[in-house]
Chain A
């Protein structure tokens, strides 16, 4: 074989095996992520009418999700981030460019020129592994983007439920304040007739003031919840004047399938898909790290030289890094550890997804049972107590204060029913989000079962 042929073989070995992932794959990834997210989220279909029309008719949960996904800039941002991530991995999958060097030395009798080109010796051998790793990382990035879009949809629904609950709670608090106002009016009339001791009047008026404060607090609590939803919807200016449509649906268990919840949650989990891809990528990374550390920094190429007397020569070039101080052992060990870490994370994530599925299912059932008890037992019992108190009032056994107090107890029970309904809906949304593939961030209350809603109706005598 001639020298020129030998050089050609070296160049082919160095450069030909592959050029990495194509650039147009980035747009495909973005489209795939968006399509899959839509398939996983109810109400993610396009907006048939204008956003203004949706807002004008009173905002429903479905409308809110549509606007959040199609109108706000959140989804484009997520897809752009996917593009950024994908581009990085496409880039990483490519062969490293060869380097060219040229030297010119000026002698009295002429000029000596040396030209050479070097390419990483093992890059072409590692490239398939790096491309495979990049492919997995791209899958992970795509799943991450899909999960982010799903999360946007459910964050919107949760914000919508929060807003409805705040409105309903404010109305209950208003009724409580009305009852307290009635007691205050009655007490003032009694006092005017000379029939109320100052201490009694003061207590009733204080209770009224307290109830008014509670009502104001409940009304103020609507505003931050409304703004959370405004941000989800991406609205500003005149478009922020929308009103919600209806109240919280009465049945949080309607149409939800709780069978085989763990299996379904695991099968649908986007986090697990990400973790799986990252584990595969770590495997690939570990493999090419093994290869890369055999001859670190080695490059091959060709070198051409022309002497000052005009004689020219062509030959192969080799640059070797001597592994005297770093033999690559640490890098290999690190890559292996990263693979172990990814595997452990995948395992733990599976545990977490299953745990969340069980917890949300059982807490939803518990909340639904409490809701049923509240509706079928507690609220009717409180209503019967009010009726019985009214009858005793009619029989002159008790006074108007007792009737008002019974009404306040009834309102307090209704408030507890509302709290339970809200809790059940939030749990259901978290469970639906989990089944849509996104492991929700479980709040401490969701994890422990604690509720933090204060009663707004109040009971005062």
Chain B
């Protein structure tokens, strides 16, 4: 009797080899649908969800609904966006190499749309490029996309119709395809992020698709720090982070603290072990994915962020003068004389900011204000964990935290500050 697991092995045997062609030959009807927790370990999408499916006649059936969404980027900052299934970004689609998937797309937007399966090797007519692959899905219509997943890795989906507008408003999501044959070594925890950028002036609700250069809300899975949920790992666990970038105009050098990693895959497929090298920052170009893996061997709270400094700010204005080095006392007094309501930035408590806006930085940390916002999250590595929920701030062992120098220490080391 052929078991389900045998069929999995069969599918793996039919592969033409992961090191050569990236597409695997599978029967047109696909292989038996892969099951979460049994045939693969599901990814975790912080601040996101995974799209549910049902099996119909051996086909994994999904339903995406493109629709307007009232989305929260960060506390106090909402946007009138477009998303899928009530979310920005859309839910992560998760399946297994060899699965035959049928994805129904219902358009509840006020304009026509399509869905492109970014990086997937699909039949041309299923590629979702409006006007090229298909006619657009008009408002109220539901289209069927159906194909066999012939590869594994981290991919994306997004609107490919009036792209500049529809992607700027949030129509995108992650598409994760697990290998039919489990990878070695397996990851103990598998996180997935989709990076994007928006232009949303303080006080505005609608992201501006016309913006080409000055993006001021930088998000990971649609939210900006401090709204980003942390990644949690037990010390010694192998951590996989999948990073996709569908920003309009910017690549993002994603940097992790306290660890180094290897890039194990791109949206083109896995990278042979011999072709990998260790690094602590990976540039994720626009329209691509990078998958990194490392062992979380360093307990603590570690920032994981884009290293472009303006990308770790939220709603940072660029129309202000350079105030560095300014003796503000005289000018503040003069301005306050002219405008009585004037208050000096950063003094006298918290000045009033426009409605529907977020502070440019300032997540509260264990040692004070964290002067980053935007494309930042935290990897929390602990010796023991019971869940992937936020374990709170790390308490470092005594003597392992930077602290003010004592006179005796300075004297000992011959430091004359």
Contacts and interface: CB of A to CB of B under 8 A. Distances in A.
Interface of A: 175, 178-179, 181-182, 184-186, 189-190, 192-196, 386-388, 390-404, 406-407
A189 B341 contact: no
A390 B341 CA distance: 8
B330 to A, nearest CB: 6
Closest 5 CB pairs of A and B: A397-B317, A394-B351, A193-B325, A185-B334, A179-B338
A387 B341 contact: yes
Nearest to B318: A397
A401 B345 contact: no
A404 B335 CA distance: 7
B345 A178 contact: no
Contacts of A386: 339, 341
A400 B335 contact: yes
Contacts of A391: 202-203, 351-354
Contact of A182 (B201, B321, B323, B335): B335
B408 interface: no
A117 B337 CA distance: 93
Contact of A196 (B321, B342, B360): B321
Contacts of B325: 193-195
B352 A193 contact: no
B159 interface: no
6 contacts: A179-B339, A181-B338, A182-B334, A182-B337, A394-B343, A399-B319
A146 to B, nearest CB: 51
Interface centre among A388, A392, A401 (most CB of B within 10 A): A392
Contacts of A401: 321
Contacts of B266: none
Interface residues of B, number: 34
B353 A193 contact: no
B189 interface: no
Given A190-B323, A390-B352, 11 more contacts: A181-B338, A184-B334, A185-B335, A190-B331, A192-B326, A392-B317, A396-B345, A396-B360, A398-B319, A399-B321, A400-B335
Contacts of B324: 193, 195
A119 B145 CA distance: 130
Contacts of B337: 178, 181-182
Given A196-B321, A396-B360, A186 B335 contact: yes
Contacts of B353: 391-392, 394-395
Given A189-B331, A190-B321, A193-B327, A395 B338 contact: no
Contact of B203 (A175, A179, A186, A388): A388
A149 B317 CA distance: 65
A189 B328 contact: yes
Contacts of A189: 326-328, 330-331
Nearest to B351: A394
Given A189-B326, A395-B357, A403-B339, A182 B319 contact: no
Interface in B293-348: 315-317, 319-328, 330-331, 334-335, 337-339, 341-343, 345
A190 B325 CA distance: 8
B85 to A, nearest CB: 32
A175 B338 contact: yes
Task: Tell me whether chain B's interface is mostly helix, strand or loop, or mixed.
Answer: loop
Contact of A396 (B317, B330, B331, B342): B317
B338 A182 contact: yes
B310 to A, nearest CB: 12
A406 B339 CA distance: 9
Interface string B98-118: 000000000000000000000
Contact of A390 (B202, B331, B342): B342
B334 A403 contact: no
Given A178-B337, A404-B335, A404-B338, A397 B326 contact: no
B339 A397 contact: no
Interface of B: 201-203, 315-317, 319-328, 330-331, 334-335, 337-339, 341-343, 345, 351-354, 357, 359-360
Contacts of B322: 190, 193, 195
A388 B334 CA distance: 20
A140 B50 CA distance: 100
Contacts of A186: 331, 334-335
A396 B316 contact: yes
Contacts of B323: 190, 193, 195, 399
Contacts of A179: 338-339
B316 to A, nearest CB: 7
A178 B360 CA distance: 31
Contacts of B343: 390, 394
Contacts of B202: 391-392, 395, 397
Contact of A395 (B330, B342, B354): B354
Contacts of B203: 388, 391-392
Contact of B342 (A178, A195, A397, A403): A403
Nearest to A396: B317
Nearest to A193: B325
Contacts of A387: 341
Nearest to B361: A396
B353 to A, nearest CB: 4
A182 B325 CA distance: 18
Given A193-B324, A194-B325, A397-B320, A407 B339 contact: yes
Contacts of B201: 397
B320 A398 contact: yes
A403 B335 contact: yes
Contacts of B334: 181-182, 184-186
Nearest to B316: A396
A324 to B, nearest CB: 90
A185 B330 contact: yes
B352 to A, nearest CB: 5
Nearest to B327: A189
A189 B69 CA distance: 46
A140 to B, nearest CB: 59
A190 B331 CA distance: 9
Contacts of B360: 395-396
A402 B319 contact: yes
Nearest to A395: B353
A404 B339 contact: yes
A186 B344 CA distance: 13
Contacts of A192: 326-327
Contacts of A193: 322-327
Nearest to A386: B339
A235 to B, nearest CB: 37
A191 B409 CA distance: 41
A397 B319 CA distance: 6
Contacts of A404: 335, 338-339
Contacts of B342: 390, 393, 400, 403
B338 A394 contact: no
Nearest to B216: A397
A406 to B, nearest CB: 8
A201 B14 CA distance: 73
A333 B338 CA distance: 74
Contacts of B321: 190, 195-196, 399-401
Nearest to A408: B338
Contacts of A185: 330-331, 334-335
A194 B322 CA distance: 9
Contacts of B326: 189-190, 192-193, 195
A398 B317 contact: yes
Contacts of B352: 390-391, 394
A178 B247 CA distance: 45
A410 to B, nearest CB: 9
Interface centre among A184, A196, A395 (most CB of B within 10 A): A395
Nearest to A191: B326
